[in-house]
Chains A and B, each alone.
Chain A
């Protein structure tokens, strides 16, 4: 029978698997996490009593609806939780789970691999107590833990406000929200953001809730450093009117939006293109997510769009896959396309309102660590680029310096590396180079080899 493999059980993957499971295909749904949800609908670890209704408030209804749908979908398909897809080759995905390796062939592959945090290196960003925004949310939703007692949320992302509100609801203290984009930039992006007034309204309510609770909110600040000895103890920043500020804290949640996880798409042979609005690389797709022969991309792994857009794009990708297999899909394609276009327009506004501060790379001190896995500094990368005849080739800089060569394989330093390299040759707008991906896309246990099944 025809097999469709879906990678990822977040909003996009579950939506795609739901559609596919109603057609005459075998569906294998593979997810790295132990429970469906992805990052967006992450559920508490089993056995943990966490009041998700209180934590999520108005968002709880969509959370509950997702998990009801996911439970039903996972029961209907070949669901493989806690399973890493570490390679794509020869029309098969290569899996590792619980010490076993396996390959699963596909007739169509839907990649719903999501996104991770995008960070700009800063002095002190590797100090204990400094988390990514998504990481701070994950430990709360997954484990019911707070990253500290007095937390600064900083960077540029609508998640700043959401995560800060969730910390308040969970009993945490929020020392400040330091947003590096100006309020005026947010106003300018308003027309695009009005494409999804519901989502915009939610964001505004989060801001208002923080103000009511007396949380200082700073727009248009520059983050200068995370300070501390054994652990972060303060965020040093400069306000828009050039006043130096120091906010004491015992933890920091930091991020500048999201970066699509495109490694499997790249290994599957998809073309990646630079999205000048989000300033990230995304797989080239048609409006329904077709990214190559028998390859479909949905959700944030294809274009940063948030949970709602992910679900719609998952349905569209599944419909496209079924259509290409000569099968019918129970999806209103025209309405879904219209809805996705509206949500993507909203995200275009979000990307402008919460801008990636790529230009800051030029001002970074040489001593700042750029690659935390391999302890490579900004200065070492600059020296390597200087020896490359002014060519901002990041793969070459990686070969010379080890930047991006460690456990994360550049997933976290890659964005900063591209900007540092571009700044060396004099152009923020040229920060478009990217590190090439290789198999395995994440660290792979060597002991798997002993359990190889054909």
Chain B
């Protein structure tokens, strides 16, 4: 297949790339997805599975709400169960400062029309009696949901294929350029065969590796890789329906229908994007287990059976890069999701598809323009130390302020 020609080439067959392909096929654009490994095989398949609205970054909340509406129809769209469940999320405060944060988040969410209930300590312990005595308050958002990340990207890829998308797995794009008219992509397969693709439009959905693609076109996305620490227990009898999430993210858990308790907990860890290896260190496992059993003492009687992580792409303001390139017409970025790619995915995909087909989008993506990296004084998230281990931040490159030349 040397010399495939497509309307739109999407580099990266993660959830976002597959959702963009699906959205483009709904708009009848010819589209090819080029994935180095297999669909959903990197960070898309390994996340905690949260579709979280409350506590979401204020600039992201409008897009997050649009995404949630699309998630609510995902099983009808794909025709498959992806274990979408809307049991709500509970955010917990363990001290007065966290309680203030809960209340701030609730005001912010309500301002965007989200229904969030605040519960005091007694109400929270009455409703979720498995919680330990540390809890001082809770907030409950019924529209927050979960999905099984292992299932969703493959399901969307199949749906996109049914609509006529070409999804090529096992093809790594090693170089790309724009010849003034079309994009030329140079790829190779694991067994060394050369693949080349030309396209009118190019979408950068390359996850933690999206910075490399941007650099081929003279653009800087100050991405750094990090991984979430995920743990899972043996199946245990059902005791909790919503996701439970300490508001600073230090520990969160949910129970699957099979009965396993999935456990997450920040700060995120250092991972190696070059060798694509990522494991949860034993100390991190013990730390998160200690936090969990302090919060839910009854879990002391059970066992954890596996840990995993993945390689996610982050930027320091913890917001995606979504929209057109400023160096190359026809190039669009959909990357740097900073751990929010699962939740934002459907709305991000709709935005990119609309931009490509209609030249404009109704999706609220203004805060995610790549130009924000070229102005000084860009906003940073409140506390990166809460989000990342120090060794992650040590490898994060300082963003360049120079505009690309093109």
**Residues of A near any B CB (own CB < 8 A):** 86-87, 89-90, 94, 101, 103, 267, 374, 387-389, 391, 393, 396, 399-400, 402, 405-407, 409, 438-440, 443-450, 452
**B301 contacts A439, CB within 8 Å?**
no
Q: How far is the CA of A388 from the CA of B41 in the complex (A)?
A: 12
Inter-chain contact B307/A439, CB cutoff 8 Å: yes
Range of interface residues on B (Cβ < 8 Å) = 35 or more
A447 in contact with B293 (CB, 8 Å) = yes
How distant is B223 from chain A, measured CB to nearest CB, in Å? 25
By the criterion CB–CB under 8 Å, are B305 and A407 in contact? yes
With A400-B150, A439-B307, A444-B304 as known contacts, state yes or no: A103 contacts B41, CB within 8 Å.
no
Q: Confirm or deny: B302 has a beta carbon within 8 angstroms of a beta carbon on chain A.
A: yes
Collect the chain B residues with CB atoms within 8 Å of residue A387's CB.
154, 158
- What is the distance, in angstroms, from A267's C-beta to the closest C-beta of chain B? 7
CB <8 Å contact, B38 and A446: no
Would you give the shortest CB distance from A5 to chain B, in whole angstroms?
14
Give Cα distance in the complex from A399 to B45, angstroms: 8
Contact B38 A396 (CB under 8 A): yes
In whole Å, how far is A410's beta carbon from the nearest beta carbon of chain B?
10
Contact, CB under 8 Å: A449 / B289: yes
Which 8 A-B residue pairings sit nearest by Cβ, starting from the closest? A449-B289, A449-B290, A443-B303, A94-B282, A447-B300, A87-B282, A399-B150, A452-B286
* Residue of B with least CB distance to A269: B277
- A389-B171 Cα distance, complex, nearest whole Å: 14
CB-nearest residue of chain A relative to B38?
A396
Q: Look across to chain B and name the residue whose beta carbon is closest to the beta carbon of A93.
A: B282
Give a binary string over B280-315; 1 marks a CB under 8 Å from any A CB, 0 the rest: 111101111111111000011111111110000000
Given contacts A396-B38, A405-B306, A407-B234, whether A448 and B286 have CB atoms under 8 Å apart is yes
Report Cα–Cα, A405/B294, bound state, in Å: 26
Cβ–Cβ < 8 Å partners of A94 in chain B? 282
Contact yes or no, B289 A438, CB < 8 A: no
Contact of A443 among B151, B290, B291, B304 (CB under 8 A): B304
The residue of chain B having its C-beta at the shortest distance from the C-beta of A384 within the complex is B154
- B293 CB to closest chain A CB (Å) equals 6
- What is the minimal beta-carbon distance from B97 to any residue of chain A, in angstroms? 24
Residue B85, interface by CB 8 Å: no
Neighbouring A residues of B283 by C-beta, 8 Å? 89, 103
Q: Do A438 and B150 have beta carbons less than 8 Å apart?
A: no
Task: Kindly provide the distance from the CB of B231 to the nearest chain A CB, expressed in whole angstroms.
Answer: 9
CB contact list, B251-265 vs A, under 8 A: 258
Choice from B150, B169, B303 contacting A445 with Cβ under 8 Å = B303
A438 adjacent to B281 (CB under 8 Å) = no
Whole-angstrom distance between the alpha carbons of A452 and B292 in the complex?
Answer: 13
Residue of A nearest to B285 (CB): A439
> Is there an interface contact between A400 and B154, defined as CB atoms closer than 8 Å?
yes
Identify the closest chain B residue to A99 (Cβ): B300
CB < 8 Å: which of B45, B169, B300 contacts A446? B300
Give complex CA distance A101, B151 in Å: 34
Indicate which residue in B41, B292, B302, B308 contacts A396 across the interface (CB closer than 8 Å).
B41
Contact indicator B279/A439 (Cβ below 8 Å): yes
| Residues in chain B near residue A443, CB distance under 8 A | 234, 303-305
Q: In the bound complex, what is the Cα–Cα distance between A396 and B35 (angstroms)?
A: 15
Query: Is the beta-carbon distance between B300 and A450 smaller than 8 angstroms?
Result: yes
Chain A residue with Cβ nearest B296: A446
B305 near A409 with CB under 8 A, answer yes
**With A387-B154, A405-B306 as contacts: A446 and B282 at CB distance below 8 Å:** no
A to B CB contacts below 8 Å, 11 in the list: A89-B282, A89-B283, A439-B285, A440-B285, A440-B305, A440-B306, A443-B304, A443-B305, A446-B300, A446-B304, A449-B286
Whether the pair A439, B293 counts as a contact (CB closer than 8 A) is no
Distance of A187 from chain B, by nearest CB (Å): 41
Contact A409 B289, CB 8 Å, known A388-B38, A443-B234: no
Report the minimum CB–CB distance from A86 to chain B (whole Å): 7
Known A407-B234, A439-B279, A452-B290: A446·B299 in contact at CB below 8 Å: yes
